[in-house]
Structure 1
Amino acid sequence: MKRILDLDAATYRRHAIHGEDRVWAETNCYTDLLVEQLHALGVEPVAALPFTLGIDFEGDQWTFFKFPDGDLADLYGIEVQELAVWRPLTDHIEDQVELGRPVMVELDSFFLPDTAGTAYGLAHMKSTVGVNEIDVSARHLGYFHNQGYYTLGGDDFDALFQMNGLVHERMLPPYIEYLKRIPGQAPLQGGALLEASLGLLRRQLSRLPADNPFGRFKAQFSRDIAWLMDADMEIFHTYSFANLRQYGACFELAETYLRWLAGQGVPNVTMPAEKFAGIAQTAKAFQFQLARSMARKKPLDLAPLDAMAAAWDEATGALRTGHG
């Protein structure tokens, strides 16, 4: 067995970001994964959330938001490195885990038991997991994924790592990264962590979209709704993931960050936090409204997009004034 942290999947306690009271139980696989890995490594991931303020509508989808590598280095002394695959995948993972480096690798959710009911045994979908422990001879894997920490083994292990040979000769290796401690740089704590996080906030506020992204999204959504009404529910799920879930979940994380700042005594963040909470809640309701409209082929009221646009203006305006 190669292991970094001595964790038990049955007793592992998730970060509060993945608590039962959340509007969006999951964000995206990469961000959720890093939240739990940082949490397990003993640092506070919320301090690194200023990046959530700067997401934008990218023309056909909202920003797939991720922790910037430089922010992880500045706050926690952790760098993200890409791993070149030139040997069997399990060999690479074993070596890095033995060196104390969590490995983040794209795997097929069809063989990940924690996705039961959505993808496990149902759909081949790539998703990034963070490997904490591996035992090739015992066909065992301990891994972070989405909201928590899990284990798998047996045939699932064999299928994930192609232990019986490639499915086909043109099969490409997955994208792999690992987390590495920067020598001599300890994670920031207390006041130093707060000041560094506020520095990231100021930098992020200088990079906000030049105009309100909800206006551009509404214009594109108004065009998309015509063909969405003729699409099946599988298209709804993919469209919603790339749009409503991305910005809804991201702005809930922005709310979480601002409430953390408020708890540290930072002023002028409570109202923006409430506005971002409103966006997250409205986005969730709007997602259900879109699903019903598509199922019933009924017109959809786009007024919630205007409400979210107004909330974005108020929140970002207040943050620029108070912290820009």
Structure 2
Amino acid sequence: MSSPHADHRVADAVTGHWVDRLAPRRARPYLRLARIDRPIGWWLLLLPCWWSAALAAIASGAAYPDPAHLALFFVGAVAMRGAGSTYNDIADRDLDAQVERTRSRPLPSGQIRARHAALFLVAQALVGLAVLLQFNTTAILVGIASLVPVAIYPFMKRVMPVPQAVLGLAFAWGALMGWVAVFGRLEAPALLLYAGTIAWVVGYDTIYAVQDIEDDEIAGIRSSARFFGRRMRAAVGLCYGASVAFIAAAAVLAGSGPVGLLGVGLFGAHLTAQVVRLDTRDGRGALTLFRSNRDAGLILFLGLTAEAVLRHLIGA
């Protein structure tokens, strides 16, 4: 086992991240285990929460999404992304050791022992629970239910041809939370947003999985990239098309006008550009496309928020 003081930068982390430059050396393996050096993960968990909050603002006539909710979702997304990643790495530490991109992670490289990772997992989960308890009872129950797909996802890559579908169930959960935090109940716009977000997750994580196709085949790890093979670009295009259609329907049912739908359209244009640029033989390019989904998600959030602001001003 490597020395706990050894410093190993994870292969797909952001170059020059503050974790590598400024964090105390002892803390770095834990920050990497929580994916702090790969912020795209918590962005992709956070954005559906913000979309849902913006959609709820449109439907309720609020001037903008509740700032307190947005802040709580931010803290919760970072904490639960870290907890989920820690749990996933504990479950996958033997598989990760067989894949070039993941063998430098803290557990397979020996920087952290599994029992210490488990304690770190509990600490992060408690932060997430503290955030969840700030919402209404229905939101708390909906949030707790998200633990089901989170718990089973790491094992699906061993048995399912498209484990990204289960990942979608987990990562899209925020699409329900923003709505239920405002209204205290689940309704059609939130459910449609959830369906659209699941399709988005399957699409972008298929792009992400391009990096590991060869190693996954050797290790026997299943992924949508392997399953779709030569049809990958068409499959990602279908996922993204379904995502835009469901999200547009959600916006319409929530009462959105042209500004919000323009945001959906620009979001769709960004996804289309990803499909056009996708090269299934270029792992580095696939990672760049995957990370660009943060920008796509922010475009959609800004469009929905602008719709809420405009509707409030017109109605005032």
Give the TM-score taking structure 1 as reference length.
0.30
Name the one with the larger strand percent.
1
